[in-house]
Chains A and B, each alone.
Chain A
Amino acid sequence: MKDLHQFLISPLQAAQQHGPNDRIVMSSRVRLARNLRDASFPGWAKKPERVKILDLIIPAVSALPEMADSFAEAMDNLTALDKQILVERHLISREHAAKNVGSGIVLNRAESFCVMINEEDHLRMQALRPGFQIREAWNAIDRLDSALEKKLDFAFDNELGYLTACPTNLGTGIRVSAMLHLPGLVLAEQINPIIQSVNKLGLAVRGLYGEGTEALGNVFQVSNQMTLGESEIVIVERLEKVLSQIIEHEENARQSLLEKKPKTVFNHIGRAYGILANAHSISSKETMNLLSLLRLGIDLDLFPGTARALVDELFLTTQPAHLQKQIADKLSAEERDLLRADMVRARLKDVSRPVTK
């Protein structure tokens, strides 16, 4: 069995991946839901059937050229910490992290493809790309799906399309999503009207970890909700249009904040720097929210010489499971807060105070 921690790219490397518009669009993702024709959905199948399905799908997925060098494992072989790290990396859902016998994961070396097996559907295949690249992600997952359909018999109906466990995913089984960093819109108090108008277009806005989570660190996920009655490319194009508009609004909000309320902006960013660089105990939630302001400060050239990657790396390494991983002993939440503060202080040692004229 491969060691997950040896396999995963380091937080530093992960933070250094670049893509178009990545100062606002942190990452893009397209996932497809697929099921086998002659089997019960994972939520209804009994354990032996789920194991049988897993044993059928893992080799089929692992044999794809895109997955040549991959980490393929049953969920019951992963520790709770491993699973939590995968969640913090946005490679699997929180639902999938709760699975055990009869569920699995196949992740490629570049972490550009991650397939969840027996989550809510037999297959949840995801293509992940840094920055604003939803079309590239769609093309990639489309190819993977076309290769896989030659080996597995997918449940498909001429009227209803790909059949999924939940009727909300029926048809294309597609979810196109992007993770956006929107501190400007939050500070300018324009985020709620934006969320409302995005909702009206039939798109969902969620927090950092998907369904039912809060927008920690001013990070929002925008995705399609409807999957039936429109083709994949129509959905991708609508998302592209809406995301481009949100990017524009965010840039405008930052610009007008700097022009109209520079003191407010400098105050937020300066305080965030002050706390992060000097705290001796800090929660993961506070860290996220302050790192978001630091990231904004870097975007606004208040920290010359400091790369955005530093913040993006800390975004990952200060998460509870990533923090726990570095220490052999089991830490309490309080101990984690101390350790987190030590780590952040050390990493910010060479970052000078924000330059504000």
Chain B
Amino acid sequence: MQCCVCKEKPATVHLTQIVGEKMQKLDLCEDCAKAKGINDPTSFAMADLMLGLGASQELDPTVGAAQIKCPRCGFSQADFKKSGRLGCPECYQTFAEGLSGLLKTMHKGTRHTGKAPEALRKSRETGDRLKLLQKKLNKAVEAEDYELAAQLRDEIKVLNGVAPAKAAK
């Protein structure tokens, strides 16, 4: 097995870190491990190290994905591999598939739960509420509680009336 940093020497230091349900693996040669300061595996943030590595910078290793370019700004995966930065906000949609794995290793979650611009806040809250009601409705139907189901269906109707276009993605 080759070292995933220098891609030259054989990997002799193998690290596995499990955070929640996510597992990250790194295989390094002795020199690179030392250079990265990994003599105590508990002392460094794996995500930091992963960021600088080819393994995770390869957004989507499937054939064909390399040809994808952002329709708005012309940014490609190779550009991301070079800089670790994206080209424009639209890139997040263009490379959504490849990014989702990377985001999991970097962050606490993959869904934003913080502040939103005021103009979008309302539709965002409505969208969340709709999802919740739909879940409850499904449960009610399963439990054959038709009275509750009817009530929930009406609530959903009202909400949809207020926000006919479901929160734009």
Interface residue? B85 (CB, 8 A): yes
Known: A35-B89, A156-B120, A161-B116. A167 touches B106 (CB 8 A): yes
Q: For the complex, what is the distance from the CA of A16 to the CA of B85, rounded to whole Å?
A: 40
Number of interface residues of B (CB under 8 A): 43
User: What's the least CB distance linking A193 to chain B, in Å?
Assistant: 9
Q: For the complex, what is the distance from the CA of A163 to the CA of B116, rounded to whole Å?
A: 11
User: What's the least CB distance linking A251 to chain B, in Å?
Assistant: 24
User: What's the least CB distance linking B11 to chain A, in Å?
Assistant: 24
A163 close to B107 (CB less than 8 A): no
User: What's the least CB distance linking B96 to chain A, in Å?
Assistant: 9
Q: Pick from B75, B83, B92: contact of A157, CB below 8 A.
A: B92
CB-defined interface of A143-166 with B at 8 Å, one 1/0 digit per residue? Answer: 001100110001111111111011
Known: A156-B116, A158-B167, A171-B114. A41 touches B109 (CB 8 A): no
Number of interface residues of A (CB under 8 A): 46
Q: For the complex, what is the distance from the CA of A194 to the CA of B107, rounded to whole Å?
A: 22
Q: For the complex, what is the distance from the CA of A44 to the CA of B79, rounded to whole Å?
A: 9
A149 close to B118 (CB less than 8 A): yes
Residue of B nearest to A196 (CB): B43
Residue of B nearest to A235 (CB): B114
Which residues in A have their C-beta under 8 angstroms from that of B87? 40-41, 44
CB-defined interface of B73-101 with A at 8 Å, one 1/0 digit per residue? Answer: 10100010001111111001000000100
Q: Pick from A159, A163, A200, A231: contact of B115, CB below 8 A.
A: A231
B86 close to A167 (CB less than 8 A): yes
Pick from B1-9, B44-52, B137-145, B150-158 the stretch touching chain A.
B44-52
Interface residue? B113 (CB, 8 A): yes
Known: A44-B75, A120-B85, A155-B89. A167 touches B99 (CB 8 A): yes
Interface residue? B164 (CB, 8 A): no
Q: Pick from A40, A159, A192, A229: contact of B107, CB below 8 A.
A: A229
Interface residue? A262 (CB, 8 A): no
Known: A156-B117, A156-B120. A226 touches B106 (CB 8 A): yes
Interface residue? B124 (CB, 8 A): yes
Q: For the complex, what is the distance from the CA of A163 to the CA of B119, rounded to whole Å?
A: 16
Interface residue? B42 (CB, 8 A): yes
Which residues in B have their C-beta under 8 angstroms from that of A37? 89
Q: Which A residues from 91 to 143 make CB contacts under 8 A with B?
A: 120, 142
Q: Pick from A43, A166, A230: contact of B113, CB below 8 A.
A: A230
Which residues in A have their C-beta under 8 angstroms from that of B51? 168
Which residues in A have their C-beta under 8 angstroms from that of B127? 158
Q: A161-B116, A167-B103, A200-B42 are in contact. List 12 more A-B contacts (CB 8 A).
A: A40-B75, A40-B88, A43-B85, A44-B87, A149-B117, A157-B89, A161-B112, A166-B84, A170-B92, A171-B107, A228-B106, A228-B110
Residues of B within 8 A of A (CB): 40, 42-45, 47-48, 51, 72-73, 75, 79, 83-89, 92, 99, 102-103, 106-120, 124, 127, 167-169
Residues of A within 8 A of B (CB): 35, 37, 39-41, 43-44, 120, 142, 145-146, 149-150, 154-163, 165-168, 170-172, 174, 192, 195-196, 199-200, 202, 204, 225-232
- 4 nearest A-B pairs in the assembled complex, by CB-CB distance: A229-B109, A161-B112, A155-B89, A229-B108
Interchain Cβ contacts under 8 Å between A and B, 23 examples: A35-B89, A40-B73, A40-B88, A41-B85, A41-B89, A154-B117, A157-B112, A158-B168, A159-B169, A160-B110, A162-B112, A170-B103, A171-B112, A192-B43, A195-B43, A199-B43, A204-B45, A225-B45, A228-B103, A228-B112, A229-B113, A230-B109, A231-B113
